[in-house]
Chains A and B, each alone.
Chain A
Amino acid sequence: MSLVERVLAGETLAIARAMSWIENDHPDKEVLLDALSAHCWRALVCGITGPPGSGKSSLVDRLILRQRRQGRRVGVIAVDPSSPFSGGAILADRLRMQDHATDGGVFIRSMASRGHLGGVAGATADAIKVLDAAGFDCVLVETMGVGQSEIEVMELADIVMLVLVPGLGDDIQALKAGIMEIGDIFVINKSDKPDASKVRAQVEYVLGLAQEQMHPPRPIVMTSALNDQGIDELAATLADYHAALVADGLLERRRKQRVARELQRILAAKVQERANAALNLERHLDSWVQCVMERRCGPYALVRERLQEFLQEHNPL
């Protein structure tokens, strides 16, 4: 059986290997993904993002349990950062989820960011497709600990949970652009800590300023993953939010946007690849640099000219 058939049959070894192909840019990666894409869009993809130490992994652990109780198979992709110095990584999100290690209905994969900056890894979007095609009903994507602008998870998830905790700053922080704008569901974790209700009030205030423009309205859920509190409510909120997105055709629209971005990204990468090869960039880049440094030409004019040559050579007309 081919790797594709084995993934579609839900075979663990094959799913794991397919993800490695994606991470390592295996020569047959594109063929694999094209074959799998005919079997996608069945899973609900939920992103879980928030600052380091806010309890994302523990929340994922608890959410897995709720999904399993409803008989759903769950795939998890948990991203941790790669070292900018050694390129190595410690991937320890799984540590909080090991209760599910022997459950055949759960597949957990740790992923290093490998230099990718948006809070997820470059391979995350394609790895989701593997889990989707393999028949997992729900895919939970846990980002690295994020700051204010790592918001790429919104480009690959159907629904984004933003996890906040007490002690991160005042209501002005909550007003700022970026991460605070991408949450569909706001989770205030560590609700047993003092000031948790204050965080809730701040989020309510910020959302309140724009809530009428938001459809569906953004729910806020208080949880304590460690004490297993609020998790049933969170799971129910996720289900309701999902239902609302489906009913209004919003899920379809989000997914269309996702495919549009993916196609643009693939096109840009392929054009760049072809142009680099055709212009023999590797060999000529030094002379281009020389040209600019010696003030013989400006960078835009140089690239425009070279690009013109490339396009003329490759224009069949």
Chain B
Amino acid sequence: MPKRKIRILIAKPGLDGHDRGAKYVARALKDAGYEVIYTGIRQSPEAIVNAAIQEDVDFVGLSLLSGAHNELFPEVVSLLRQRGGEQIVVFGGGIIPEEDIPFLRAQGVEAIFTPGTPMSKVIEFIESNRARVENR
């Protein structure tokens, strides 16, 4: 049996239009064999969550460089839980100060990747959750 295809939504919530990081990650995840749905910049948490549910993704990766992560990331997690997407694993990246990471993790953002993180760390994170998402 080949491994089930893992689907990942890469999204940019809020008003920040800097999408190089998100595109880089999307491309690298494609090259690692995942199906990546990319929805572009300036997405509301509501739009991201609806897309995640329609696409039946296993992961949602949020990228933000504007500083609004403490509001927007937890909002995505909480909307996912409300809409029946509580099994979807949420991770984030961007310009995120070290001191915010414990708060975000407590809010259900399971991993935060800050600038300079090698892609292998992100892939490792996804693979370490494979069994969990495959059995949902």
Contacts and interface: CB of A to CB of B under 8 A. Distances in A.
B60 interface: no
A112 B39 CA distance: 15
B65 interface: no
Nearest to A11: B84
Which of B29, B31, B35 has the most chain A CB within a 10 Å cutoff? B35
B37 A114 contact: no
B33 to A, nearest CB: 4
A86 B55 contact: no
A108 interface: yes
B56 A17 contact: yes
Contact of A12 (B32, B39, B53): B53
Contact of A16 (B4, B38, B40, B55): B55
A94 interface: yes
Interface residues of A, number: 30
Given A20-B56, A88-B35, A102 B27 contact: no
Nearest to B1: A25
A158 B33 CA distance: 33
A114 B5 contact: yes
Which of B26, B37, B85 has the most chain A CB within a 10 Å cutoff? B37
A107 B54 contact: yes
A101 B50 contact: yes
A16 B36 CA distance: 16
Given A16-B55, A114-B5, A91 B44 contact: no
Q: How large is the interface on B (under 10, 10 to 19, 20 to 34, 35 or more residues)?
A: 20 to 34
Interface string B12-42: 0000000000000011011111111111100
A98 interface: yes
A95 interface: yes
A88 B33 contact: yes
Contacts, number: 87
A83 B53 CA distance: 24
A24 B33 contact: no
Contacts of B83: 13
Contacts of B56: 16-17, 19-20
A23 interface: yes
A174 B38 CA distance: 34
A16 B40 CA distance: 21
A109 interface: yes
B5 A91 contact: no
Contacts of A24: 4-5
Interface in A5-50: 12-13, 15-17, 19-20, 23-24
Question: In terms of DSSP, what is the predominant structure of the interface of chain A?
Answer: mixed
Contacts of A95: 38-40
A23 B57 CA distance: 13
Contacts of A12: 50, 53-54
Contacts of A88: 29-36
B51 interface: yes
A184 B31 CA distance: 37
B127 to A, nearest CB: 14
A23 B55 CA distance: 12
Contacts of B48: 101
Nearest to A21: B56
B46 interface: yes
Contacts of A19: 56
B114 to A, nearest CB: 23
Interface of A: 12-13, 15-17, 19-20, 23-24, 82-83, 85-92, 94-95, 98, 101-102, 107-110, 112, 114
Interface of B: 4-5, 26-27, 29-40, 43-44, 46-48, 50-51, 53-56, 83-85
22 contacts: A13-B84, A13-B85, A23-B5, A24-B5, A83-B30, A88-B29, A88-B30, A88-B32, A88-B33, A88-B34, A88-B35, A89-B30, A90-B38, A91-B36, A92-B40, A94-B39, A102-B44, A108-B54, A109-B55, A110-B55, A112-B5, A112-B35
